[in-house]
Each structure stands twice: as structure tokens, then as C-alpha cells.
Amino acid sequence: MQSVKLDNKDYVFPTEAKKAFTNSEIIKAIHRSQHTQRNYDLSKKIPRTDLKTIVTSAAQCPSKQNTAFYDLHIIENQEVIKTIFHLTSGKASDEDEYKSLSNPQVLANVLLVFSIKDQIKSDSHREVIKSTEDSEAARIVMQDAHTAIGIAAGYVNLTASLLGYETGCCSCIMDYSSLKEMLNIDGSPSLLMGVGFKNEGVNRRIHALAGTDAMDDDWKEKLTTFKKQPINLYYVK
């Protein structure tokens, strides 16, 4: 497997993907995007124009002082995605006592991997700040980096929903070192985000491995879901 660095010009917003959405359609997409997809229809492929739009949303969203806090890895190769999927298992080695099921949210048509850069420099800083340093400056940079990734994930989530796709986020990267080595990442992998087609006729909460020998004996039929808690809204006049 080989990683290829892409220029931002390769991901300009495609004219074909521009659509006029009504407010009601946007609101429906917002509500729809709350739901996590845990099984995808892998027989389909996301069209290039839609993928460019989704990647644009991750690469061109706001960040503090427009600083590039993270790198983005775009993976369509299903063999690579399956390998990463198994790295989300709670058992990273035979010596580990803790074990949990691999996270199916990443087993998608496309997997986005956000990794915080090892060295971060904004135009407002004269010096490069290493995110691994034990300093107050590094702490603030890491906080800004996680904020930037959160904003990017939100952009991807809503953009994908508007285009008719489902998403799932996972930060439980158990075999951390293997993922870094596999993708040749110098920095810190922070978030895995699957994007793809819903599996029609299958409840979105059913694990992708349900019904196979890979499932544990105590597996429940569906993953637990939680009702969206209300956010307090205060209109200040």
C-alpha cells in the first residue's frame, strides 16, 4: 500500500455536486446525520464528484488562523479498510485482558483518517510547535487541533447526509502503533470516520459481523441507541 499526497487543487468543489437545498431538506439532513451507521452496502462505490465534495468539506472547513492541524487520509481500498477495522478491537495483543468487538462504523465504502500533525506551525507563530512537547504551548495547540478535527468531522457528517450518505465516527483505535505504521503517519491518528451507503433492509444498529462466527456469544441483536438529549437554548435579547 502506498500513500499519495494530494494537492488541494485536486479537491475543488465540483460544479456537478452543487445542489439547491431547501431549509426543510437541510433540517432533515441534520436530524438524519445524528444516526450512526454500523453496516454499509459495500457493493456500491461513491461517485468521484460526491467524494470530492466530501473531502472538500474536511479540508476547507474553518480552523484557528487557517492552520493545518491535521492530515487527512482518504481510503477506498476495502482490504486496507478491513485491516484498520480489525485494529479497532479492544484486544491489541495476546497479553491484553480487555477485549471488545471491532468498531463497524469504520467498515464503510470510504474511510477518512484524521491525524494530528507532529509539528504544527501557523502564520502567527515564528516557531514550529511539536504537538508531542510537554509545554503549555503544545497543550493549547493540541486543544486547537482537536477542535479543528471536530469541526471537520461535523462538516463531513452534514455534507454526506445532504448527499444521501451515512457516516460513523470512531476514536477507539486500540492498535495505535500498527495504524501509524500502516499509513506511514508521523503524527497522531485521532479520528476514523466511515462514509457510505446504508444497507437497505438492515437495521443500522446491527453490527456488520452479525450472524458470523466472529461474533461473541453474548452479542445482542442490535447496538444500544440513546435518545438525543435536549440542548438548552437561550435567546439573548
Nearest in space to 46 (alpha carbons), one of 3, 94, 78? 78
Q: What is the pLDDT of residue 138?
A: 78
Q: What is the pLDDT of residue 148?
A: 96
C-alpha cell at 107: 467498515
The residues spanned by each domain of the chain are 12-196
Q: What is the pLDDT of residue 215?
A: 58
Interval 12-58: pLDDT, tens: 655 655 566 778 888 999 999 999 998 899 999 999 999 999 999 99
C-alpha cell at 153: 468531522
Evaluate whether 1 touches 80 at the Cβ level (below 8 Å). Answer: yes
Does pLDDT of 164 surpass 90?
A: yes
User: Which residues does residue 169 pair with via DSSP β-bridges, in sequence order?
Assistant: 193
Q: What is the pLDDT of residue 137?
A: 76
Evaluate whether 197 touches 181 at the Cβ level (below 8 Å). Answer: no
Torsional sign, CA 47, 12, 189, 160: negative
- Helix, strand, coil share (%) of the chain residues, nearest 5: 35, 15, 50
* DSSP class per residue in 23-40: HHHHHHHHHHTTSBP--B
Q: What is the pLDDT of residue 109?
A: 97
Evaluate whether 32 touches 161 at the Cβ level (below 8 Å). Answer: yes
For domain 12-196, the question of CATH label 3.30.479.30 is answered with no
Interval 110-141: pLDDT, tens: 999 999 998 887 666 555 666 566 678 778 88
Q: Is 129 helix (H, G, I), strand (E, B) or coil?
A: strand
C-alpha–C-alpha distance, residues 154 and 159, integer Å: 8
pTM: 0.82
Does pLDDT of 93 surpass 50?
A: no
